[in-house]
C-alpha cells in the first residue's frame, strides 16, 4: 500500500506556501490541486534560476521554503504519483543537496522556526509567508527593471515598427521551444522584445542547456531572463509572434518571372568580437556582402575566418536579389562606403597579420537607404557624408561622385 500524505503533511505544505484555497479542476481532487500548485512554484524557481532550490541560511527564505517543500514531495509516494506525469524537468528524481538535510523527526513548528518564520504560538497563522499570488506578483515585478541605456535601443524599436508598417518585416507565430538568438525580436504580451545579449551557455541542474539573457522591452524596461524562461513565456502566450529580419524583396524585379535568375542575397552582419574598438562601436560596424548561397551556412565558421574578424557574427539584415550582377553590386556597395572602411589589423590563427576589407563604420539605416536608392536607380545622385552619418546630394561633376 502506498504511504498516504497525512493531514499534518498537507498542513505543512500549506504553511510552506502552497495555496490551500485552490479549487479542483477536471478530475483532480482538491488535495491533488494543492500538491500540483506547490510543485509548479518549484518548477518556476528552477526555470528562472537554472538550479534546484537549496537549504541553508545563506539562501533566500523562499528558496529554502521551496527546498523543504521539494523534500516533502519526494518523500510522499502519493505526491510522486500525482506529480510524475507533470515532472518534465525530472525534479522528483534529480539529485538533491543532502549536506543540509532536515532531520526526519523535526516537528512543524521547529521546522518553520528554523526557516526564520514566526508562528505566534499558532503554526497556521504565519507573519512572513506571502500568499502564492503575492509571491508570483513579486517575482514578475522583480524580473524587470528600468533600462538605463534605453536611448541606444529606442531607435531600433522605432525602426522595427516602421518596417512592420511597410511590410519590410513580418511577424510569424512563435513555434514551441523554437530557437532564440542574440538580436532576435518577438512580440510578447503585446510588447516588442529584443534579445540584446546572451551569456555563456551552461547545463542546468536537471541536465538541460540554458543561458542568461539580457532582454529589452519597448516600454524602456529590461530583464535578465533565462533562455528557457523566455521560451516558456512565448509558449504560454497564445498571441506571441516572432518578428522576421528585413527582406526588401527582389531588387530590380518587381514581378518575378519563370526565367528570372535567382542571384542571391545582400547581407549585413554585425561582429560579436570582444576587440575593444569593435565592442565600443559595435552598433555602427557592419560587414556588407553579397552571396549566391545560404547566408547562415556562409557564416557558420566565422570565428575561424579573418574575413569575419575571427569572431562570431549576427545577421542584422538580408535583401533578396534577382537578375543582378552579384559581383558588380557588391563592388558598388563597398565602393560607396569606401571612405568609412574599417581599418583594423588582426592576427590570424597562424600569427599572420590580416586586414579585412568588407567592414564599414556606417549605421544600418544608411545601408538600407543606399540599397533603396540602388533599387530606384538614383544612387548616382547621392554620396555618403561621414560627418553626419547620412546620405547627401552628390557633386555635380561626375568625376566627384563617390561611387
234 within some domain: yes
Q: Which residue has the higher pLDDT, 39 or 128?
A: 39
Query: Domain boundary residue among 140, 166, 187?
Result: 140
**First and final C-alpha spacing in the chain:** 85
251 within some domain: no
Shared domain check, 130 and 155: no
79 Cβ contact partners less than 8 Å away, ≥ 6 residues apart: 5, 35, 72, 73
Shared domain check, 226 and 309: no
70 pLDDT tier (thresholds 50, 70, 90):
confident
Shared domain check, 154 and 136: no
384 pLDDT tier (thresholds 50, 70, 90):
very high
- The helix/strand/coil state of 400 is helix
pTM score, two decimals? Answer: 0.39
73 within some domain: yes
Shared domain check, 332 and 393: yes
226 within some domain: yes
Q: Could you give the CA distance from residue 382 to residue 336 in angstroms, rounded to a whole number? A: 9
Tally the domains of the chain.
3
* Run of H or E including 109: helix 108-114
Shared domain check, 99 and 11: yes
Shared domain check, 155 and 128: no
CA distances from 331 to 96, 136, 335, 357, 358 (A): 61, 56, 6, 11, 10
The 10s digit of each residue's pLDDT in 11-30 is: 555 555 555 444 444 567 77
Structural domain for 38, as ranges: 7-140
- Average the pLDDT over 378-390 and give the result: 87
Q: Could you give the CA distance from residue 320 to residue 262 in angstroms, rounded to a whole number? A: 9
Shared domain check, 133 and 16: yes
Buried b (16+ CB within 10 A) or exposed e, 190-204: eebbbbbbbeeeeeb
The 10s digit of each residue's pLDDT in 142-182 is: 368 899 999 989 999 998 888 888 777 778 887 765 778 88
| pLDDT value for 256 | 47
Shared domain check, 390 and 352: yes
| pLDDT value for 265 | 87
Cell output for 337: 562606403
Shared domain check, 271 and 155: no
258 within some domain: no
Statement: residue 359 has pLDDT above 90 = yes
389 within some domain: yes
Query: Domain boundary residue among 140, 165, 200?
Result: 140
Shared domain check, 101 and 14: yes
The 10s digit of each residue's pLDDT in 75-127 is: 888 888 888 888 888 888 876 443 334 434 444 444 444 444 444 433 233 33
Q: Could you give the CA distance from residue 20 to residue 34 in angstroms, rounded to a whole number? A: 6
List % helix, strand, coil for the chain (3-state, nearest 5). 40, 20, 45
254 within some domain: no
2 within some domain: no
- Average the pLDDT over 206-220 and give the result: 87
Shared domain check, 149 and 135: no
Shared domain check, 306 and 179: no
Query: Domain boundary residue among 91, 112, 140?
Result: 140
Amino acid at each position: 500500500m502506498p504511504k498516504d500524505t497525512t493531514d499534518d503533511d498537507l498542513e505543512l505544505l500549506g504553511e510552506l506556501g502552497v495555496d490551500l484555497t485552490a479549487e479542483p479542476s477536471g478530475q483532480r481532487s482538491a488535495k491533488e490541486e494543492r500538491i500540483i500548485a506547490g510543485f509548479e512554484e518549484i518548477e518556476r524557481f528552477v526555470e528562472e534560476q537554472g538550479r534546484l532550490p537549496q537549504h541553508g541560511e545563506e539562501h533566500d527564505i523562499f528558496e529554502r521554503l521551496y527546498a523543504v517543500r521539494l523534500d516533502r514531495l519526494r518523500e510522499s509516494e502519493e505526491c510522486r504519483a500525482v506529480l510524475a506525469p507533470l515532472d518534465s524537468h525530472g525534479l522528483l528524481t534529480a539529485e538533491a543537496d543532502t549536506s543540509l538535510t532536515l532531520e526526519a523527526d523535526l516537528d512543524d513548528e521547529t521546522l518553520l522556526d528554523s526557516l526564520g518564520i514566526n508562528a505566534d504560538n499558532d503554526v497556521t497563522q504565519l507573519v512572513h509567508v506571502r500568499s502564492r499570488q503575492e509571491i508570483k506578483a513579486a517575482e514578475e515585478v522583480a524580473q524587470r527593471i528600468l533600462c538605463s541605456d534605453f536611448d541606444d535601443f529606442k531607435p531600433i524599436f522605432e525602426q522595427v515598427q516602421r518596417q512592420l508598417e511597410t511590410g519590410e518585416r513580418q511577424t510569424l507565430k512563435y513555434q514551441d521551444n523554437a530557437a532564440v538568438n542574440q538580436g532576435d525580436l518577438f512580440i510578447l504580451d503585446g510588447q516588442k522584445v529584443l534579445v540584446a545579449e546572451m551569456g555563456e551557455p551552461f547545463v542546468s541542474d536537471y541536465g538541460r542547456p540554458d543561458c542568461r539573457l539580457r532582454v529589452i522591452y519597448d516600454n524602456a524596461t529590461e530583464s535578465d531572463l533565462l533562455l528557457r524562461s523566455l521560451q516558456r513565456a512565448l509558449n504560454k502566450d497564445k498571441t506571441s509572434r516572432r518578428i522576421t529580419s528585413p527582406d526588401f524583396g527582389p531588387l530590380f524585379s518587381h514581378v518575378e518571372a519563370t526565367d528570372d535568375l535567382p542571384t542571391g542575397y545582400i547581407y549585413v552582419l554585425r561582429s560579436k568580437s570582444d576587440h575593444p574598438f569593435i565592442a565600443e562601436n559595435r552598433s555602427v560596424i557592419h560587414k556588407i556582402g553579397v552571396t549566391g548561397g545560404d547566408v547562415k551556412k556562409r557564416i557558420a565558421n566565422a570565428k575561424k575566418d579573418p574575413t569575419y574578424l575571427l569572431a562570431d557574427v549576427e545577421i542584422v539584415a538580408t535583401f533578396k536579389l534577382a537578375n543582378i550582377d552579384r559581383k558588380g553590386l557588391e563592388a558598388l556597395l563597398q565602393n560607396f562606403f569606401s571612405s568609412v572602411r574599417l581599418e583594423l589589423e588582426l592576427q590570424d590563427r597562424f600569427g599572420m597579420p590580416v586586414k579585412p576589407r568588407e567592414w564599414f563604420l556606417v549605421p544600418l539605416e544608411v545601408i538600407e537607404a543606399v540599397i533603396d536608392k540602388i533599387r530606384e536607380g538614383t544612387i548616382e545622385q547621392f554620396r555618403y557624408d561621414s560627418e553626419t552619418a547620412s546620405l547627401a546630394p552628390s557633386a555635380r561633376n561626375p568625376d566627384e561622385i563617390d561611387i
